[in-house]
Amino acid sequence: MKLASVLTALPPPVLRYTPYWLQGPNSPGMAGLTRRFLKQLLVAEGAHETAVEAAQLCATELVANVHRHTTSPTVAVEILLTPERLVVHVHDDAPSTTLAAAARQGDEAEHGRGLGLVDTYATRWGTTVYAGRPPRRKSVWFRLDAITGAKSPL
């Protein structure tokens, strides 16, 4: 009984991140716009060059996948940034969750290796499907840890 009261007396952790949003049409140019925006943001925040390149690669792949594989009229890129961690969600209106198989394409596959690259460079990645009335939304996201040398306040 005492343990439960001690646990409930602790305040919940405060998540300290800075959110950024980029939204635009589902067009071929959106991947490049996302890549340039992400590079400027991460360089300004002092991220390592390798983290910047990995983030650009992963984000470009996810935005390009929305263009190639959905009829969603818009793409929204949500960027959550702490001094040490980056999380990027790429949102669209196509709630398909058949992405895991695409990440396991072999080296000889002509298409479908983009998610394999995300799997290689990201600390973690996955999909989130948001329920509700159609059009339902989904995000494919990735996380990169240790993007600077700073300690995360999380």
Specify the long-range contacts of residues 10-16, CB closer than 8 Å, at least 24 apart. 13/154, 15/154, 16/82, 16/153, 16/154
Reported confidence tier of residue 132, pLDDT bands at 50, 70, 90: confident
Identify the weakest region by mean pLDDT among 2-6, 86-90, 115-119, 123-127.
2-6
Whether 7 is covered by a domain: the verdict is no
Confirm whether 2 is domain-assigned.
no
Mean pLDDT, rounded, of the chain: 81
Please write the tens of the pLDDT for every residue from 35-67. 999 999 999 999 999 999 999 999 999 999 999
In a domain, 1, yes or no: no
For the chain, the domain total comes to 1
% of the chain beyond a pLDDT of 70: 73
Tell me, yes or no, whether 152 lies in a domain. no
5-33 residue pLDDT tens: 445 555 555 557 889 999 999 999 999 99
Average pLDDT on 78-85 reads 91
The yes-or-no verdict on residue 152 having pLDDT over 80 is no
Kindly report the CATH number assigned to the domain that includes residue 25.
3.30.565.10
Compute the chain's Rg from CA coordinates.
17
pLDDT confidence of residue 118: 94
- The residue range of the domain holding 59 is 17-144
The verdict on residue 8 lying in a domain is no
